[in-house]
Amino acid sequence: MSGKPVRPCTRVGKYELGKTIGEGTFAKVKFAKNVENGNYVAIKILDRNHVLRHKMMEQLKKEISAMKMINHPNVVKIHEVMASKTKIYIVLELVNGGELFDKIAKNGRLKEDEARSYFHQLINAVDYCHSRGVYHRDLKPENLLLDSNGILKITDFGLSTYAQKEDELLRTACGTPNYVAPEVLNDRGYVGSTSDIWSCGVILFVLMAGYLPFDEPSNMALYKKIGKAQFTCPSWFSSEAKKLLKRILDPNPLTRIKIPEILEDEWFRKGYKPAIFTEEEDINVDDVAAAFNDSKENFVTERKEKPVSMNAFELISRLMMLSSSFCLNSIQNGIVKRETHFTSQRPANEIMSKIEEAAKPLGFNVHKRNYKMKLQGDKSGRKGHLSVATEVFEVAPSLHMVELRKTGGDTLEFHKAFLQKLFIRVTRCSVAF
């Protein structure tokens, strides 16, 4: 068996695809380069047949059209939409400063002034989205990205609803339970704007406290606490912050504070600066319509270039997207990420074998293909079964990069229950990294 992994380079239209930087149930996100102008972007890739099979086409078309209409400095921008015979490609602004979640996980709670600054940006963005009839419905720190200048950007409108009238109640229970409003959980219908405001309140609490206001081991206990808004603010919260949180985390959506009132709140107004930006007029959504119809006239082509080991472009993508990653030995320093990488001078097939040998006793089912490996946990954790994607790349002769990326389950379990134990077992297996 050769120690060199086969890594064909894929081109889609004018974009050269790089590494996978995110995975979900319905989509995969890849780092990409526009070969015409050299700009870097992120491309969300959806399986066309999967969308059709689940009758999601019209809803997805509406959601993507809604995303294109959003033009705000604190919202990830969608550049264009393309399609091939088998895939739908959504070209997005690349935000490479990591998740706000990572900042909290690494450094703990934020000082009140810093938390307020992020909350300003969050409310500005949510207010703008609501004014355009777009309701996110899954606001949480993991969906709040930071750019290279530390500016907050809301991402993932996959659960948003477009053009809801204020008197029309939504009935789809979605989102992450810890951040979801009580009216969403009780299945009696809810208004998208007020449920988003609740989620913003939970986010503000997490930013200042470093932990969730509502967190229980069982969903039943969690829903009960959320339904009654049973939470306690830490002693270090200012009295003004406590008052605002009480008004945001009001279990009654009819009396819950609205965004115009938040903008006038005494605590909120400290250091507040409205977002300054130029709105685009006549936003064109023709590419969205073209991507979702059956006409082959506008399809882009996918083509594989000759197999290569990790090339200069891929190295750049890793430096940009993994700049906030770390070697395994920094796990002990409390850094929490969704992926990690390390290098090894051992043959690629030996690295794969040793990781497999170490993972199986930890309760992981192993599926291998070439120099990729999927590890699936056999026990359900806090957020379902933990799953990890592993891949080995050749950087140079006799030097390989190993990437481990969480694709399912809880991020903290990925580190505490997997990476730390795996590292110990791999070390015992005498693979010199």
Asked whether residue 35 is domain-assigned, the answer is: yes
The vertex-56 CA angle with 138 and 191, nearest 5°, equals: 40
The vertex-6 CA angle with 49 and 86, nearest 5°, equals: 10
Asked whether residue 2 is domain-assigned, the answer is: no
Q: What pLDDT is stored for residue 174 in this prediction? A: 43
Q: What is the CATH number of the domain that holds 231?
A: 1.10.510.10
Report the distance separating Cα 105 and Cα 407, nearest Å. 18
Q: What is the pLDDT of residues 263-282, one digit of tens each?
A: 999 999 999 999 888 776 66
144 and 228 share one domain: yes
298 and 346 share one domain: no
Q: What is the CATH number of the domain that holds 69?
A: 3.30.200.20
221 and 131 share one domain: yes
Number of domains in the chain: 3
Strand order through the sheet with 364-369: 339-344, 399-408, 384-396, 372-381, 364-369
160 and 135 in contact (C-beta within 8 Å)? Answer: yes
Angle between helical axes of 112-131 and 192-209 (0-180°, round to 10): 170
> Domain range for residue 336?
325-428
The pairing of beta strand 161-162 with beta strand 134-135 = antiparallel
Asked whether residue 343 is domain-assigned, the answer is: yes
Beta strands in 104-212 (DSSP E): 134-135, 144-146, 152-154, 161-162
121 and 238 share one domain: yes
Asked whether residue 368 is domain-assigned, the answer is: yes
Q: What pLDDT is stored for residue 262 in this prediction? A: 97
Mean pLDDT split into 10-residue runs, the chain, 433 residues: 51 86 76 88 86 75 78 90 86 88 86 96 93 81 87 71 39 61 74 86 94 88 91 95 96 94 96 84 72 69 55 58 42 52 78 83 80 81 78 76 82 71 60 45
> What burial class does residue 113 get, using C-beta atoms within 10 Å of its C-beta: 0-12 exposed, 13-18 middle, 19+ buried?
exposed
Asked whether residue 23 is domain-assigned, the answer is: yes
> Which residues pair with residue 27 across a beta bridge?
46
User: What pTM was estimated for this model as a whole?
Assistant: 0.66
107 and 53 share one domain: no
180 and 150 share one domain: yes
Asked whether residue 274 is domain-assigned, the answer is: no
Q: What is the pLDDT of residues 279-321, one digit of tens each?
A: 766 677 777 777 777 666 667 766 665 434 555 566 556 555 5
Q: What is the CATH number of the domain that holds 378?
A: 3.30.310.80
76 and 128 share one domain: no
> What burial class does residue 23 get, using C-beta atoms within 10 Å of its C-beta: 0-12 exposed, 13-18 middle, 19+ buried?
middle
Q: Is 294 a catalytic residue?
A: no
125 and 212 share one domain: yes
122 and 17 share one domain: no
Asked whether residue 257 is domain-assigned, the answer is: yes
Strand order through the sheet with 87-93: 78-83, 87-93, 40-47, 27-34, 15-23, 7-12, 302-308
285 and 337 share one domain: no
Asked whether residue 275 is domain-assigned, the answer is: no
89 and 105 share one domain: no
88 and 210 share one domain: no
- Which of these is catalytic: 102, 127, 138, 196? 138
136 and 197 in contact (C-beta within 8 Å)? Answer: no
Is residue 304 a known part of a binding site? no
